[in-house]
Chains A and B, each alone.
Chain A
Amino acid sequence: MKRLMYLLPMGLLLLLGLFLLIGLGLNPRLVPSPLVNQPAPGFELPALEEPERMVGSADFEGEVVLFNIWASWCVSCRHEHQLLVRMADRYGIPIYGLNYKDERRDGLEYLRAFGNPYVWNAHDLEGRVGIDWGVYGTPETFVIDGEGRIRYKHVGPLTWDKVQDDILPLVERLRSETL
């Protein structure tokens, strides 16, 4: 019994090590969004492409869509951009964009240079719609179902694994739900 007591500190140390090991695998910057499974926050903003035209969350209705928050100053947005292009082209998923805290000129230049997978882009110069959507780091990608509810949120650049494992199956499932 007494011997076992001496093993206790070692046991505790191993337990601590285990927790630290688990902690290594977690992303401390990830803030779970309370918006998932909530109705998407409504907004109306001028389109990036045509300032006179107003676009907004009303356009999502009745369809499963991706809503992607990006900016020309956001380097990691460039990493995921080709994925968005591929998703729009090959899988026919409508992707709507929120150009977040960006100058119109820069945003348009970005689309010219890297391609435009978006149905439209809303121009959120001041970042107020971003706050409404709980945006804290670009890029962020939301999946919105046919009833205008947020069903998934990804923070940071999308990877092909993420798209293949999470987003495509989810979109597929949500589409069959809406039908």
Chain B
Amino acid sequence: MKAWWPLIPLLALLAFSPVASAGGVDPTDFDEPGLEERYRALLHELRCTVCQNQSLADSDAGLARDLRRELRTQLNAGSSDDQIIDYMVSRYGQFVLYRPPFSPATYLLWIGPFVLLGLGFVVLYLTSRGSRQGARTTGVDSAARERARRLLGEGKDV
């Protein structure tokens, strides 16, 4: 319990270590400068729908490769980021977005954790207040103390 603080750097290391990404971004051959950055940014915004915990950038599934090709085609054709995202959403639904928009369907998703955190604080406050009061009021009476001492004393002989 005492020596938990050396764990902090370890945890920090875990939290910030880059996850090895097995996927690919495919060779790119954009004519215009700037497209490459937009392409890479979009890859991280869009989910691979067959390998659902990976973005298009992480995944090496066939469908992810096809979707990356589609992205490159549309970027080269001069589509804006919003147009491309709309295209994907209209086919695969909002599920394809790695960052779901703040809409009635996702209120719980966005706000839920903070509500839980708040609830946790309330419980923490209530229990800590309760235990402080408890410590003040409940003393052990002397008869019980005497009985405990006897019991412990008997234990020593065995």
Contact = CB atoms under 8 A, between A and B. Distances in A.
Contact of B93 (A32, A101, A128, A133): A32
Interface string A31-56: 11111001000000000000000000
B52 interface: yes
A11 interface: no
A157 to B, nearest CB: 16
Contacts of B92: 31, 33-34, 134, 136
B50 interface: yes
A131 B67 contact: yes
A29 B91 contact: no
A128 B73 CA distance: 11
A132 B52 contact: no
A85 to B, nearest CB: 27
A38 B89 CA distance: 13
B62 interface: yes
**Majority secondary structure of chain B interface residues (helix, strand, loop or mixed):** helix
B78 to A, nearest CB: 18
Contacts of B52: 28-29
Contact of A134 (B62, B66, B70, B91): B91
B26 to A, nearest CB: 14
A169 interface: no
B103 interface: no
A132 to B, nearest CB: 7
B28 interface: no
B54 interface: no
B67 A137 contact: no
Interface residues of A, number: 19
A127 interface: yes
B133 to A, nearest CB: 12
Contacts of A28: 52
Contacts of A132: 91
Nearest to A132: B91
Interface residues of B, number: 15
Contacts of B109: none
Given A136-B49, A137-B50, A34 B91 contact: yes
Nearest to A28: B52
Interface string B83-99: 00000011111110000
Contacts of A29: 52
Interface in B44-61: 49-50, 52
Contact of A131 (B91, B94, B95): B91
B63 interface: yes
Contacts of A134: 91-93
Nearest to A133: B91
A29 B48 CA distance: 11
A31 B89 CA distance: 12
Given A32-B95, A131-B91, A137-B50, 8 more contacts: A31-B92, A32-B93, A33-B92, A34-B93, A35-B90, A101-B66, A127-B62, A136-B63
Instruction: Please list the 7 inter-chain residue pairs (A to B) with the smallest Cβ-Cβ separation, ordered nearest first.
Output: A134-B91, A136-B49, A34-B93, A127-B66, A31-B95, A134-B92, A136-B50
Interface of A: 28-29, 31-35, 38, 101, 126-128, 130-134, 136-137
